[in-house]
């Protein structure tokens, strides 16, 4: 491999000749050989959006030449087009302020810009990082990255799964089945009603997550090192936020308290709490699906799910609810990520939080896993859910909790007597209602309207 010599305030460093990063990036790469986790590329793109916005603000404020601002914008566009992805090699496990990733972006922009210009036009600190500190750029990029990932990736995946469940809920609204509470038989409902709960869980989680994004629209840029705004010109924060908004199509504003914006990570923790709530609902949904589909002969077996691959290396013909299992593991990982983010956010010492690489890595992993997991579950399982009508009807007919419909006619105690006797004798509710002399067959048939139990307020 060929190398070139780069210099920083600590001396000379050998850097691969085919890369645009500089000495500070190389030092981080050499000094933090920890794990395989790299800074998410979308966090690099968020930093790049910020660098472009800042160059525009600095030019408008008269502290940067048009030539330099235009060159920064040109290189930023190359990065955002994915042309320089292999120039961002740093580990998540680095300085907790992500200073080295900030400098990685600064160095790539400067060196690539100088290569295009054919001269030393840009300096990574004096120009690309002008009016900034890593302490305010990375918190800002954190908010940009998180908001865009949620809106561009997570929400569409949620809407896709929600739409599938809404379709199934409507399609199966007339299939009546036994309900279950405490894992025991309960009064009936329709399969459509059962699935409608899944649809509304996704819808509610989506609404909560979207509303939580307002808490990460305020950004730290302009705070510089400790929140005072040292070395940033007056009005810089307003202009930078304005240009970030224009570049992203989202509304970002300057943080109302710059000191809070550097040290507190409660806003991003709050948004991730919405992802954790989604994970909890998804885990409930896939558990329902796999138990309702259990069998095929010795389980509940009220629904049939797609058979995608052989389920056993030893048992021929076995098929497993693999999509449910995959999404359940995603849910658990998101819950674990939430714990890591919560602990990281609690460690804001004095004027800075130094767990930001961990926070952005876990946040972005949660968004990616949830988005991919929901799409996979939707396309390979949910869309193919079918009712096993014979099993549904058999279970419904055997259910003792249908006796609840008789409560208004014969009272709770008589109804309980019928149910307990039928269960003891292995007989039907009708047989025991008649045998016990509580109801005639005609009276039983008149009052045992299962659809009326499922849709009690439906007009005849």
Residues marked active site are found at: 182, 312
Write the CB contacts of 160 (distance below 8 Å, at least 6 apart in sequence): 374, 375, 378
Closest CA to 61 of 222, 189, 204, 212: 222
In sequence order, which residues have a C-beta less than 8 Å from that of residue 83 and are 6 or more positions away? Answer: none
Q: Any idea what DSSP says for residue 91?
A: B
Q: Contact, 405 vs 188, CB < 8 A?
A: no
91 DSSP β-pair partners: 38
Tally of CB atoms within 10 A around 297: 6
DSSP secondary structure, 327-377, as one string: HHHHHHHHHHHHHHHHHHHTTEETTEES-HHHHHHHHHHHHHHHHHHHHHH
Q: In sequence order, what DSSP letters do the residues of 25-83 get, joined into one string?
A: HHHHHHH----S-B--HHHHHHHHHHHHHHHHHHHHTTSS-HHHHHHHHHHHHHHHTTT
Structure tokens at 152: 């561009």
CA distance 72 to 18: 20
Angle at 209 between CA 355 and CA 268, to 5 degrees: 15
Name every residue whose Cβ is closer than 8 Å to that of residue 312 and which is 6 or more positions away in sequence. 318, 320
- Of residues 177, 270, 254, the one with CA closest to residue 221: 254
Residue 366 and residue 360 in contact, taking contact as beta carbons nearer than 8 Å: no
Specify the pairing of strand 218-219 against strand 253-254. parallel
Please list the alpha-helical segments (H only) found in 118-174: 134-149, 155-171
CA distances 237 to 99, 132, 219, Å, are 20, 10, 9
Q: Angle 356-380/266-292 helices, nearest 10 degrees?
A: 30
């Amino acid at each position: 491999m060929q190398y070139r010599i780069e210099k920083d305030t600590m001396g000379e460093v050998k850097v691969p000749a085919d890369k645009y990063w500089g000495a500070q990036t190389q030092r981080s790469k050499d000094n933090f050989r920890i794990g395989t986790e790299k800074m998410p590329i979308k966090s690099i793109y968020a930093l790049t959006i910020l660098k472009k916005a800042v160059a525009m603000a600095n030019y408008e404020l008269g502290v940067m030449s048009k030539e330099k601002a235009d060159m920064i914008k040109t290189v930023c566009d190359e990065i955002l087009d994915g042309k320089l992805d292999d120039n961002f090699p740093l580990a998540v496990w680095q300085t907790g302020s992500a200073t080295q990733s900030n400098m990685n972006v600064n160095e790539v922009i400067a060196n690539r810009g100088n290569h295009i210009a054919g001269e030393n036009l840009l300096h990574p600190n004096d120009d690309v990082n002008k009016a900034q500190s890593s302490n305010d750029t990375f918190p800002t990029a954190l908010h940009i990255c998180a908001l865009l990932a949620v809106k561009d990736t997570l929400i569409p995946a949620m809407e896709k799964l929600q739409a599938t469940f809404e379709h199934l809920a409507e399609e199966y609204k007339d299939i009546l089945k036994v309900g279950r509470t405490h894992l025991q038989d309960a009064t009936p409902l329709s399969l459509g009603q059962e699935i409608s709960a899944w649809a509304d869980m996704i819808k509610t989680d989506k609404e909560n997550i979207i509303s939580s994004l307002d808490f990460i629209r305020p950004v730290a840029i302009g705070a510089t090192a400790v929140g005072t705004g040292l070395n940033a010109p007056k009005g810089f924060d307003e202009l930078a936020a304005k240009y970030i908004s224009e570049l992203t199509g989202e509304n970002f504003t300057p943080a109302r308290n710059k000191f809070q914006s550097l040290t507190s990570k409660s806003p991003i923790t709050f948004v991730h709490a919405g992802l954790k709530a989604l994970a909890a609902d998804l885990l409930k949904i896939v558990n329902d699906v796999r138990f309702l589909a259990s069998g095929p002969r010795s389980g509940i077996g009220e629904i049939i799910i797609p058979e995608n691959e052989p389920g056993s290396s030893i048992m021929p013909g076995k098929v497993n609810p693999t999509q449910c299992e995959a999404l359940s593991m995603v849910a658990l990982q998101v819950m674990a990520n939430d714990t890591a983010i919560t602990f990281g956010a609690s460690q804001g010492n004095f004027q800075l939080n130094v767990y930001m690489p961990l926070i952005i890595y876990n946040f972005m992993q949660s968004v990616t896993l949830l988005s991919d997991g929901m799409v996979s579950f939707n396309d390979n399982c949910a869309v193919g859910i079918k009712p096993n009508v014979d099993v549904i009807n058999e279970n419904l007919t055997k259910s003792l909790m249908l006796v609840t419909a008789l409560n208004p006619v014969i009272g709770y105690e008589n109804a309980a007597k019928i149910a307990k006797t039928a269960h003891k004798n292995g007989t039907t509710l009708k047989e025991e209602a008649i045998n016990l002399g509580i109801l005639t067959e005609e009276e039983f048939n008149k009052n045992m309207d299962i659809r009326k139990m499922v849709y009690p307020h439906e007009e005849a």
